[in-house]
Amino acid sequence: MELITSLQNPRIKNLILLQEKSRERRKQNLLVVEGFREVGIALGAGYLLKEAYYCRDVADLDLSHIPADTRITEISRPVFEKLAYREGSDGFIALFEPKNQKLNDLKLRKEPLVVILESVEKPGNLGAILRTADAVNADAVIICDPLTDIYNPNVIRSSIGCVFSRQVVACSTSEAQQWLREKKFISYAAELRASTHYDTHDYHKATAFVMGTEADGLTDAWIEFCDHRIIIPMLGSIDSLNVSVSTAVLLFEAMRQRGFA
């Protein structure tokens, strides 16, 4: 196994560039995954592993699950510590080819459940929503006019790899709305001026929850489009929840109604 000990190694410099720059990830058609568990989730979801980096001094991992033809390079502890994006990392970093899914690529069950996010901008929020979507087995998360890269390392980290286990699509608002019409979804806009509580609706049929940003909420384009406007009642002095928390409330209500299936 090749050993890299220098931070000036061109491959290491390129790894750092891929971590930091979304334009480089798009240009090279690569994404960086840190953590053996996250790598396993990506492999299980059919992502193509291009190469991997392993720090023997940090981790004792069974690499037998990695495809035999994968190029695995050993790196020194100082190199790994420069690359590691989070505390307590397990010593494994890999490069994958992303899936650039389109709306028509989505595989849906008979009565699907999806989340529409408008202009989500915080990677941590997107990651948390993906974890919740995975927990309730939502069919897809659709990001309209995104302000953050789906494969941002912070999204991968905060989603604990659920960005790979869920179907995730980035598209325009008009594309998403046309798709929802064609698939005959019932759409619910979560917004503060709504007149009906979220738990008064039936979410057994094809359901799309449409969520906006905490700062601005949903735009009129979505409020006017959706079939229903719903609100999560607030009893305290503030008038809104974190978007990931709000999404979790709605998704778990849908799952409760559907019998946790």
Per-residue pLDDT of the chain (261 residues; tens, 9 = 90+): 789 999 999 999 999 999 999 999 999 999 999 999 999 999 999 999 999 999 999 887 788 889 989 999 999 999 999 999 877 788 999 999 999 899 999 999 999 999 999 988 889 999 999 999 999 999 999 999 888 899 999 999 999 999 999 999 999 999 999 999 999 999 999 988 877 999 999 999 999 999 998 777 899 999 999 999 999 998 887 777 899 999 999 999 999 999 875
Contacts of 134 (CB under 8 A, 6+ apart): 159, 162, 165, 166
Tell me the HSE value of 106 on the side-chain side, using a 13 A CA sphere.
24
Q: Express each pLDDT in 58-75 by its tens digit.
A: 887 788 889 989 999 999
What does the pLDDT read at residue 261? Answer: 58
pTM tops 0.85, yes or no: yes
Domains located in the chain, CATH noted: 3-97 (3.30.1330.30), 103-257 (3.40.1280.10)
Other Cβ atoms within 10 Å of 52 Cβ, number: 20
